[in-house]
Structure 1
Amino acid sequence: MSVQVFFAQIRSIDKGLGRGRGGFNQSTDSLPENEIKVKLSGKTKYTDYKIISHKNDTTIVDTTLTIQKEYKFNFLRKDNFELLAFHNQGQTFNNLAYDFTTISRFPDIGFSSKFFNYSAIEDVKYYQVPTPTTEIMYRTGLEQGQVLDAFFTANFSKRFNVAIGYKGIRSLGKYRRSLASSGNFRVSFHYERPKGQYAIRGHIANQDFLNQESGGLTATSLQAFLNDDPNFSKNRERMDVNLNDAENNLDAKRIYFEHTFKLLSSKDTTNQKDFSNLKLGHAFTRDSKSYRFKQSTVTTDFFGKANTSGGINNKTDYLLYNNQLFLDFNSKYVLGKFRVKTELSSYSYGYEYLQNNTVGITKNKLKGDAVSFGADWNGRVGNFHVNASGSLTPGSGRLSGNYISGEAFYKKDSVLTVKGRLGISNKSPNFNYLLHQSSYDDYNWENNFEQVGTRTLGGDINSKWGNASLDISNISNYTYFDENGKPKQYSGDVNYLKAKVSKEFTFGKFALDNTLMYQKVANGEEVFRVPEFVTRNTLYYTDEWFKGKPLLVQIGATFKYFSKYKANAYNPLLAEFTIQNDTEIGYPTVDLFFNARVRRTRIYFKADNISSFVLDKNYFSAPNYPYRDFVIRFGVVWNWFI
């Protein structure tokens, strides 16, 4: 039996989408020296272990150890450069920057602070593997806590794959009432007939996010923190908080599937007929979410008057059904793939009954449906690519609006990619801006807000000499929560510029990875706040240790700084961030890390915020919410292939 070597390294398979840093190495002679070698028998190749995104971009299972892996080793499994974490993992994030390049077409339930760890349709992955494949990520938390993220996938035949995954978090936290507990369960599958006449893929996702809510430190405890009072410096749990029995929870369940029937096919891609590869398809989504705020006793000095003297248990429900019919085809006239589509959507949002009879709210539910029309285009001429998508939902209902996005880019192997993009969106604000009910009098409203219009123009340059991006956004009718937690719309336009550059310099076994972001709000800075500068600089050492090089190590330090700005305050009842004008936040942090790789296992040790030993105690995630003190974390990521 022949034996081949599996070199596990993530690379993008060229599908005309230009999202990778170059193609696969076709010869094992050209692979980097630090790649993992896994023996596989028969005709199996490392490129056979495929991860397929919702947009059908394809990468392969990655067992390398890079600086990007260090940035993504958190409970989100994403680089959080543009986010400011709260002290406990599993809690929410404040924003250091905003991304308007991808906007949902329809309004959602709202309560946006609960969605940083939420897996949307676009986040669920599908797989194609020759042998059963598993990945497990474990990371310690704060005070009796940990994160476990595991998935298993296997092909029951060459054309049928099933994957099952679960990410669970439970972490008590250092401060009172900061417990975070969440679970993300997902099952995905895809199947295709031998000649592709019929194909289906889909997933089921069940997610819940529970957080105890403290309301931040009291005024006395806040002053003790700022003064570094020795009575509390090593016992943060002794500090008083504003809320002692509050919690909020988001539950989300989703069923999604998409299937296609091939009506006409063509194997000749060089001399296309007028129309070829004609497919008829249908996609179905059932998406339900519910948000609940609970308290065993009323806290009038924090939230104001209430219409009850007992416990509070306010629940908001949301349900969306969406059916999409589409027709895919290739044509020489469009230089690629074209899709026309129509959708029927219906929604229900609100409450079982009127929560508060003393505030004049007239309705407890919002309902409606809509029909949408749209098209997608993916074209390519040589190294020049175009991707465009558009959708129109006519009418005057809450789902009405329009959406256009497009990108054009030039890709030259792994040397240079130049991309330009444009986005236009008009849609209603999230439903919790339009209707919200609570046992607290001040948190009840029903509004008929105008549609929010978002226009973005930007581009990227990715090259071996460095990367740069620029985005300019214009937002009309920008919707926000004011200092009192009331929803408002800004009467003018918000103009927002974000520029980012990154470059890594190497010096033998040492490297310096740098990312710098500059932001400017030209209009609307009174309601839209971001720091002007954010920087992250990582100096690290990489080497292979011991005879035979069984151990690859990565040792370094990361410096991060953002300039002072009036960061948004956090409201635990709304699970939203609100404008505040009293407190400026901005400070540096230094983290140390020691990472290692042994075969297919990556081991991570990290010392968070070691700078807290020498800097003033002025580090916050939001007003009254301190950022984490010095803490040592440990974790592993382990892949194996049966």
Structure 2
Amino acid sequence: MKKLLLAFFSISLFSQLTAQVAPKNSGITPPRTQSLKASDTITGGAGKKSSKDKKAKIQDYLIISRENDTTFVDTTLTIQKEYKFNYLRRDNFGLMPFSNLGQTYNSLTYNFRNTGLMPIFGARARHFNYMEIEDINYYRVPTPLTELFFKTAFEQGQLVDAFFTVNTSPRLNFSVAYKGLRSLGKYQNILTSTGNFRFTTNYRTKDNRYNIRGHIVMQDLLNEENGGLLDDPSIENFETGSEEFLERSFLEVNFQDAENIIKGKRFHLEHDYKIVKKKDTLSKNKLSLGHIMSFEDKYYQYDQTAANTFFGESYRSRNLRDRATLENFYNQVQLNYSNNTIGDLQFNISNNNYNYGYDRLVVQNGDTITNRLKGDIFSAGGKYHKQYKGFDLEGEAGINISGDFEGNFLKAKASFKLNKDFSATASINHSSKVPNYNTLLYQSNYIDYNWQNNFNNVETEQLAFQLKSDKIVNISADYSTISDFVYFKKEETSGQVKAFQNNNTINYLRVRLDKEIRVGKFALNNTILYQNVNDNDSILNVPEFTVRNTLYYSSHLFKKAMYLQTGVTFNYFTKYYMNAYNPLLAEFYVQTERQYGEFPRLDFFINAKIRQTRIFLKAEHFNSSFTGYDFYSAPNNPYRDFIVRFGIVWNFFM
């Protein structure tokens, strides 16, 4: 099926599409469209120009987010496109990739803004490429649009993301996409094989009273796991740069017979009906009824051929399989009211029917560990949006009113735009939420990885500010307090990783600065992140400084037939107690034995745009052989060595 889909898309797809995301507004306000400086037009038919030909402008190819923010296709080549040309297809500043494409990422920074009311599925290390509801876009296009994304991987594999969308009428759109990856990797037993299938549709009636949109997403993300390099002698052989072990497959790992996989399928539908419709700009009132329905079925599975003392004692010696499942059926009914005086209001009632757990009971130390957490949660909430004298005001709140899980959140945001270049935003967020399912209940063939906890809600408060000015500087800052933080750490007696809850309050400050300096055709793009944590228990560990600087040159060549962009990117973060990775749980856990960091990563790139095709060539980590072999993505998991990779993003407007 995967090969058939890829073959179909490869035949029909040409050229590249990348969407710029507009600033988010309230989910109950009308869509907005952001303009680009480009004046691209797309001719119909075979491209022959005549007075009868209808030309579709690039601004007519709309991309609509979950929050109804509307942008359009952007075929320009900028430094931001260089930052997004990766496996996740988004800027991964603040993430430390593992050595193979498709593996996990170590987080160098955290955002504690939260508007969730339910615990979420575990195995969070496997969710970086798992597409959630908010990651799915919808489209409206005057002619069929296709895209092919391609990038080389690490040994015996490639990364492809193929996309196609069409409007069969001005009111009905369909899109279908598939992202597939296979990469063997340089170290033993780290093969990755992932797939993300997406189908979307949206429709509106002729009188615009009824709107409906929905998507189907099916995902499978598989990783072979090796537990990292052996402490002795593989770590020493790696760090000394022994020539014999520059062939990384010669380095010994903890095991070679394990893999984990996360699979999920989701069916999502949103629709609304305008009971009272605004007839013109002078009309004061609008009333609509909305409904959201979403069903998701997912599981995480760990397989290992033979038990390994790396995880302690086990109940069985061969063919170990741990599998956690979650079925979640969500319904929300909304009543939306808009008035020119008071603004936009929404009231909603929601129901979550959840079923998480395992297919067996475990008895440990005379206590029976249950195998399921299931039930119904009913919630109530509301949203508010108002534009007032240059200010854009937003608010949102929610609370669980019945069921086994308590939870609530409150979010408020105010934005002000002084002129086209300068804007300011302030926001506050409070959240009280049950920790992730796998911290509450976990079962495994490994004896020490069985628990049932009754943790308190995790309480977070965040105050955030943002100032944006392309001419001066972009600055964002947030200050968070986290109480009853839940985390993973090795237990002192068993030496195995378990879930714990911290009883103290953690204070966490982040300040980020973004600034690009231009001199002629040269530019220096800078991103600096400062973090400070007040945590006596050393549970939340992040580097104090994380830096990315890109010096690059860009210019038109060959009578403007090609646009060239070339430069060097420098990545660096200060030493800190980097979290370690546990492949059985697919979670990162706290360690305070050794600090990692202070190794530079230098990438040289040459990018080019020819018409609407963009070509990317990069020499990644070209300094790896002469700045020391101390580069790690996590303890015992080295980052990648120097490698040259290339790719292309190719668009076609029919």
Pair in the same fold by TM > 0.5: yes
Alpha carbons of structure 1 residues 68 and 525: separation in structure 2 relative to 1, 3 Å: farther
C-alpha distance after superposition, 1:144-177 (max 9, x if no partner): 1211111100001000000101111111100001
Q: 2:292 corresponds to which residue?
A: 283
Q: Secondary structure at the match of 2:244?
A: coil
Q: Which moved more, 1:495-504 or 1:95-104?
A: 95-104
What letter matches 2:297 in structure 1? S
Q: 1:170 corresponds to which residue?
A: 182
Q: 2:103 corresponds to which residue?
A: 91
Offset of residue 379 of structure 1:
1.2
Structure 2 residue 497 is the aligned partner of structure 1 residue 485: yes
Q: 1:311 corresponds to which residue?
A: 319
Offset of residue 333 of structure 1:
4.1
Structure 2 residue 510 is the aligned partner of structure 1 residue 498: yes
1:179 and 1:211 in contact (8 A); partners too: yes
Q: 1:580 corresponds to which residue?
A: 591
TM-score with structure 1 setting the length: 0.93
Q: Which residue among 233, 242, 254 is the counterpart of 1:229? A: 242
Alpha carbons of structure 1 residues 251 and 610: separation in structure 2 relative to 1, 3 Å: same
Offset of residue 107 of structure 1:
0.7
Q: 1:3 corresponds to which residue?
A: none
Q: Which residue among 419, 424, 447 is the counterpart of 1:418? A: 424
Aligned-partner Cα distance in 1 for 2:418–2:190: 49
2:578 and 2:634 in contact (8 A); partners too: yes
Q: Secondary structure at the match of 1:361?
A: strand
Q: Secondary structure at the match of 1:501?
A: strand
Alpha carbons of structure 1 residues 494 and 21: separation in structure 2 relative to 1, 3 Å: farther
What does 1:248-327 align with in structure 2 at a 5 Å threshold? 248-269=260-281, 271-273=282-284, 276-300=285-309, 302-327=310-335
Offset of residue 15 of structure 1:
8.8
Q: Secondary structure at the match of 1:442?
A: helix
Offset of residue 338 of structure 1:
1.3
Alpha carbons of structure 1 residues 23 and 435: separation in structure 2 relative to 1, 3 Å: closer
C-alpha distance after superposition, 1:60-96 (max 9, x if no partner): 0111100000000001001111101101110000011
Alpha carbons of structure 1 residues 55 and 67: separation in structure 2 relative to 1, 3 Å: same
Q: Which moved more, 1:469-478 or 1:386-395?
A: 386-395
What does 1:140-159 align with in structure 2 at a 5 Å threshold? 140-159=152-171
Q: Which runs of 5+ in 2 are unaligned?
A: 1-15, 45-52, 491-495
Offset of residue 524 of structure 1:
4.6
Q: CA RMSD in A?
A: 2.1
Structure 2 residue 557 is the aligned partner of structure 1 residue 557: no
Q: 2:259 corresponds to which residue?
A: 247
What letter matches 2:534 in structure 1? A
Offset of residue 243 of structure 1:
1.3
Aligned-partner Cα distance in 2 for 1:614–1:13: 41
In the alignment of these two chains, the number of paired residues is 621
What does 1:10-29 align with in structure 2 at a 5 Å threshold? 23-24=34-35
Alpha carbons of structure 1 residues 310 and 522: separation in structure 2 relative to 1, 3 Å: same
Q: 1:345 corresponds to which residue?
A: 352
Aligned-partner Cα distance in 1 for 2:582–2:30: 37
Offset of residue 453 of structure 1:
0.6
Q: Which residue among 356, 367, 378 is the counterpart of 2:374? A: 367
C-alpha distance after superposition, 1:475-523 (max 9, x if no partner): 1100000123110001101110000001000110100000100000023
Alpha carbons of structure 1 residues 103 and 223: separation in structure 2 relative to 1, 3 Å: farther
Q: Which residue among 595, 601, 606 is the counterpart of 2:613? A: 601
Aligned-partner Cα distance in 1 for 2:212–2:33: 29
Q: 1:437 corresponds to which residue?
A: 443
Q: 2:457 corresponds to which residue?
A: 451
Offset of residue 10 of structure 1:
5.8
Aligned-partner Cα distance in 1 for 2:237–2:40: 50
2:19 and 2:63 in contact (8 A); partners too: no
Aligned-partner Cα distance in 2 for 1:543–1:575: 45
Q: Percent identity over the alignment?
A: 42
Q: Secondary structure at the match of 2:142?
A: coil
2:378 and 2:403 in contact (8 A); partners too: no
Q: Which moved more, 1:154-163 or 1:309-318?
A: 309-318
C-alpha distance after superposition, 1:440-472 (max 9, x if no partner): 001000000000011110111111211000011
What does 1:103-252 align with in structure 2 at a 5 Å threshold? 103-219=115-231, 220-233=233-246, 235-252=247-264
Offset of residue 103 of structure 1:
4.5
Q: Which moved more, 1:349-358 or 1:184-193?
A: 349-358
Aligned-partner Cα distance in 1 for 2:464–2:263: 35
Offset of residue 332 of structure 1:
3.3
2:41 and 2:58 in contact (8 A); partners too: no
Q: Secondary structure at the match of 2:148?
A: strand
Offset of residue 533 of structure 1:
0.3
Q: 1:568 corresponds to which residue?
A: 579
1:217 and 1:242 in contact (8 A); partners too: yes
2:42 and 2:55 in contact (8 A); partners too: no
Aligned-partner Cα distance in 2 for 1:20–1:477: 39
Offset of residue 45 of structure 1:
2.3
1:52 and 1:59 in contact (8 A); partners too: yes
What letter matches 1:380 in structure 2? Q
Aligned-partner Cα distance in 2 for 1:272–1:36: 36
Q: Secondary structure at the match of 1:613?
A: coil
What letter matches 2:306 in structure 1? T
Aligned-partner Cα distance in 2 for 1:392–1:45: 45
Q: Which residue among 51, 55, 65 is the counterpart of 2:67? A: 55
Q: 1:475 corresponds to which residue?
A: 482
RCO (CA 8 Å, sep 6+): is it higher in 1 or 2?
2
Structure 2 residue 528 is the aligned partner of structure 1 residue 520: no
2:25 and 2:67 in contact (8 A); partners too: no
Offset of residue 540 of structure 1:
0.2
Q: 1:538 corresponds to which residue?
A: 550
C-alpha distance after superposition, 1:505-556 (max 9, x if no partner): 011010000010000002356100000000100000001111x311101000
Aligned-partner Cα distance in 1 for 2:352–2:292: 12
Q: 1:28 corresponds to which residue?
A: none
Offset of residue 9 of structure 1:
9.0
